[in-house]
Amino acid sequence: MLPVHQRLAELYTASCRRPLTAAEEAEQRHCLQVNTMYCWEMARLTNEAVLAAHTEDTEWQQEISAQMFEVRISGKVGKRRE
């Protein structure tokens, strides 16, 4: 779990008790944006992993696994190796 996910949970919990302040609403939108990018990146990598498995490209599978690990830890992938 990324820190942004924890903060999003905190903001959601707060919103169940009281209206969020303008600053909290802005922060919530930012967290949702970061979460969306995280989800799309993981979906892309998952699709690439399926392709790598179907083509039996173990080197590509290892690269994708490393990228998925990086996304889980940092929320983004560094420069892609082409």
What integer pLDDT is reported at residue 81 of this predicted model? 57
Q: Model confidence over 12-36: pLDDT tens digits?
A: 999 999 999 999 999 999 999 999 9
Q: Model confidence over 37-64: pLDDT tens digits?
A: 999 999 999 999 999 999 999 999 999 9
- End-to-end CA distance of the chain, in Å? 28
Considering only CA atoms, which of 10, 77, 82 is closest in space to residue 37? 77
CB 38 within 8 A of CB 71: yes
Answering whether pTM is above 0.75, one says yes
Residues 6+ apart with CB under 8 A from 42: 68, 71
Q: Which residue shows structure tokens 């420069």?
A: 79
